[in-house]
Structure 1
Amino acid sequence: MGVQSTILFVADPCPRVRAAAASLAREPDYRVIVAERGGDAAEAINDAHVDLILADVDMADCDVIAFLSRLRFTHPNLVRILLVEGESCAGLNEALTRTAAYQYLTKPLQAEQACLVVKRALETGELARRHRRLVRELKIGDDSIFLQSKPPAGARDEASHFERLVYASESMAELCSLAREVARTDLPVLIEGETGTGKELLARAMHFHSRRTSSPLMAQNCGGMRDELLHSELFGHKRGAFTGAISDRLGLFRAADGGTVFLDEISEVSPSFQVSLLRFLQEGEVKPLGSDKTMKADVRIIAASNKPLKQLVRAGQFREDLYFRLKGFDLELPPLRARPTDIPVLTEYFVRKHGGLLSNRVLGVSNDVIEIFKSYRFPGNVRELENEVRRMVALAKDGEYLTRRHLSPALAALRAGAHDRLVLKADGKTLKEMVESLEGQLVRQVLEKCRWNQSKAARELGLSRVGLANKIRRYALAEGAARAG
């Protein structure tokens, strides 16, 4: 099955709305979400990649016109359709203007009409997207990556998404494809990767594609918390259980019953708390602080760590039995420097996102800036790229291109492509010794670049796995050693 279009109904689920939603949901190309309250709609927009929204302007708890008006800037490609009382309703023209709605439908909603309008609206949106892409590729302009007769390879890659995760690289495509399959199971998931790679976004996307999507997703950062406080947050407490416990607390495990709990920085929990967490994973039992009563909670655990848990297990800093309990499935998010083809599409996404939030229309990004981004190693990964783009958009004037002068000083001083040059030093007295020294250093640097994934390193070096293994033995290379022998 191909990528589905997501349709969000923001309306009271009356029989007519339910009939229209059910009719659209029967189409294999559509995924339908119904939000009964404004808060539910905002949460769905934040968690899912929504293509079309159909909203009732008479919602009691939400100013739908203001909500859709904001989406014009934060989600400019989102197709907006209004559901109104009648063609003669007061303020219809103003509402259509403020929201830049594609169309409006009158109540009571007719399922057949709604399905036809949604289909045509999505077709029109797809045609508009293709038109914009053709314009970017065919227009002549050396200064812009998005307006150029012959764009660089990275600019030609199509952006894909797994809810709010945006990517173009093959490695991320494979990861997200696996995550979609894993999401359908109830097994716990361990997500590993450096800080800022998008572990929580991946967890939220998996929850949204699971059978638990109608139940809550609760997130807790476990880093830097005392055991007592973390136990209270997850398992709850009774009034008077400790100083400051002035009332009962439910705890995230019970609050998310039937849903998902995301535990970030799981590597930071203490050995004693690891025992409590292991018992919950084994038995599903919750015992609040200060209580003698044990209760059950049915939640799926998605844990994340920016440190390799396997290494912590070897060092005796993390329980091996808990590690294997958490690792029902193991997903590793690659750092941004390992997927440079994602940089152009992420840059474009963040330009549109933050340009919309600031009501600032940025026309494009110069090739020079994209090449500098590709040259930079981004220790803060995608989060650091987003912060840099947000800063650039804030400095740009309406209708400008983002160029080197908008970059932060540290990035503006970089030369494009600088990271591709490996630093090698020839050691030895004879030519043979110097060549062997250079070869050993080169093999090590490629292994480190590939995070010691020997299959990837072998492909990059043009060697077989056996050939690479022979080089590793010959030069006595080991992960973590200072340099080649």
Structure 2
Amino acid sequence: MYKKPVKAKILIVDADKSDQVLYATALNPNFKCYFADNAQDAWEVLYEYAIQVVIADEKIENMTGVDFLTQVQKQYPEIVRLMIANFRNIESCVNVNIAGIYQFLYKPWRPDNLRLIVNNAVKIFNFQDKGKITPLEFKGNLLKTTTRVITSGGKPKDSCKKYAFDQLVRSKESPLNNLCGDVQQFSSYDIPVLIYGESGTGKELFAKAIHYYSSRESKPLIIENCAALPDDLLESELFGHVKGAFTGAYNDKTGLLEQANGGTIFLDEIGDISPPFKLNYCVHCKKKRFVS
């Protein structure tokens, strides 16, 4: 007999009724949403229901969102926590970072991006629940949850067969067959490649294939979700920073572009970054160098 899957329970702490409508529209019917106007109401929901993800506004009645989510972590360490803010300021990002909160989003957020992040948060909760990973806080900070570093282990040129790209993509009379040829062509050049398409069409799959078909296959493949970070943090992630560059910069940091030197960096959702940051990045991309 078919059993209807149980919806993940999401608690949203935000006193703005119009925002509550936006959350409900974005997350229903995939998730079961509960709303609270303040911390007291939120605790009542947490006591009564098995919540998996909490989304809190930056400002809650008589306290900050960070303070509330820190209290939630102490009482319910398995719950995955997200925070929403109205403005982009690096001090808030640092506070979120220190508190070990999984994700930090800015208004206005995109519904599809919010659904993706909440869905990933639910997966993390489920992995914790099954004991497949330690509690979320081991990640340490926001940045580590948006970046993946993949290496091929220095395999010889037939590593593409192991990757099985052709087997995954090619099929009789498929329009993707021509793209398989493009992948092999692009991978032979050291040039930037723009991959565009709707969500779920396999852009990351093609990025990996280009990397593993290339002479860079034994070098790092770094994947960064640009949509998950504000401009200031994304700039720090890509280009690095020196100690004392901003509040919370306690040590020098090597940027992802430098870490990926000799390999490949895939900037996912690059279309979501702001026009000024796009211009800044395009200048460096064209010059193929930057000064840290």
So what's the TM-score if we normalise by structure 2?
0.43
Between structure 1 and structure 2, the one with the greater Rg is 1
So what's the TM-score if we normalise by structure 1?
0.27
